C-alpha cells in the first residue's frame, strides 16, 4: 500500500500517556505534525488535551485531534462525535479530525460499521471537514466496509516496509509505523507516523 503523495512528513500522536512533553525539543527533532488525543466516549477529556494543544501551538507545530470511540449504538456514536467537535470547534487545527475506533468487544461487523458511519457522517456534517479514519491493517481489511474508503486512511502497522493492502483504500494519508519510537522531548516509547500533504485541511466540504 503506497502513500497518497510524497515527500513524507514526520509526525507523532500523543495523549496523557506521553507525559509532560517538551515541544521545543520535539520540533527540533524534525517532527512537523502532532496528533493530540482530545477525548474518549461521551464525556472523557484527555487530561493533557489543553496543555498539549497550547504547547504544540506555541512551537508552531501542525496540529490534529483524534477521538477514541467507545460507542455501542448509533445514538451513542452521534453523541460522541458531537462531544468531540464541541472540544475542538474553537481550536486552531491544521489536519483532518480523526476517529479512532478499535475496541469492539462484543459488537458484530455490521454494528461496528453502523457506529463508525454515524460518527464519521456526524463529524463531516457538523464540522464541515472530512474526518480521517485511524485503523490497524487487520481491521481495515476485515472489519471496515468499502464505504469508508471515501475518507482518508491513517493506518497502523509495525515492522513492515509498507502497510499491507486491504482491497478498499488504494493509498494511505497517515501511517503509524511504530509504537516504540523515540523522539527528543518525550520520555519513553512514542507512536511515530508518516503523513502526506493530504492530511492538511485545504477546504471545507
Predicted pLDDT at 136: 98
Task: Decide if pLDDT at 203 tops 60.
Answer: no
For 60-81, give one letter per residue: b (16+ CB within 10 A) or e: ebbbbbbbbbbbeeeebbbbbb
Residue 202 CA, distance from chain mean position = 17
pLDDT digit string, tens, across residues 10-53: 999 999 999 999 999 999 999 999 999 999 999 999 999 999 99
Taking residues 125-131, report their average pLDDT.
97
Q: What is the pLDDT of residues 76-92, one digit of tens each?
A: 999 999 999 999 999 99
Catalytic residue positions, numbered: 13, 102
Residue among 146, 150, 104, 105 at smallest CA distance from 123: 150
- Determine what percent of the chain is predicted with pLDDT higher than 70: 99
pLDDT of 172 strictly over 70: yes
Q: According to the model, what pLDDT value does residue 205 have? A: 39
Distances (CA, A) of 135 to 47, 82, 166: 23, 21, 11
Return d(Cα 35, Cα 14) in angstroms, integer. 6
pLDDT score, position 202: 83
> Quick one: which of 101, 15, 104 has its CA closest to 64?
15
Classify strands 98-100 and 62-68 as parallel, antiparallel or unpaired. parallel
Q: Give tens-digit pLDDT for 143-171.
A: 999 999 999 999 999 999 999 999 999 99
Mean pLDDT estimate for the chain = 97
Q: What is the pLDDT of residues 91-103, one digit of tens each?
A: 999 999 999 999 9
Give the per-residue pLDDT at 204. Answer: 44
Amino acid at each position: 500500500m503506497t502513500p497518497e503523495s510524497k515527500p513524507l512528513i514526520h509526525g507523532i500522536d500523543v495523549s496523557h500517556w506521553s507525559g509532560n512533553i517538551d515541544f521545543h525539543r520535539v520540533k527540533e527533532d524534525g517532527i512537523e505534525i502532532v496528533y493530540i488525543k482530545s477525548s474518549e466516549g461521551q464525556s472523557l477529556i484527555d487530561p493533557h488535551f489543553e496543555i498539549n494543544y497550547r504547547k504544540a501551538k506555541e512551537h508552531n507545530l501542525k496540529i490534529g485531534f483524534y477521538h477514541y470511540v467507545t460507542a455501542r449504538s448509533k445514538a451513542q456514536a452521534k453523541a460522541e462525535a458531537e462531544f468531540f467537535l464541541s472540544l475542538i470547534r474553537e481550536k486552531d487545527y491544521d489536519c483532518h479530525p480523526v476517529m479512532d475506533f478499535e475496541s469492539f468487544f462484543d459488537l458484530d461487523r455490521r454494528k461496528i460499521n453502523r457506529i463508525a458511519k454515524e460518527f464519521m457522517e456526524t463529524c463531516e456534517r457538523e464540522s464541515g471537514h472530512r474526518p480521517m479514519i485511524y485503523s490497524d491493517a487487520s481491521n481495515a481489511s476485515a472489519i471496515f466496509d468499502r464505504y469508508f474508503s471515501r475518507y482518508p486512511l491513517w493506518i497502523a502497522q509495525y515492522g513492515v516496509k509498507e502497510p499491507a493492502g486491504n482491497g478498499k483504500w488504494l493509498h494511505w494519508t497517515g501511517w503509524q509505523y511504530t509504537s516504540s519510537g523515540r523522539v527528543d522531548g518525550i520520555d519513553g516509547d512514542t507512536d511515530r507516523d508518516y503523513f502526506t500533504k493530504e492530511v492538511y485541511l485545504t477546504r471545507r466540504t
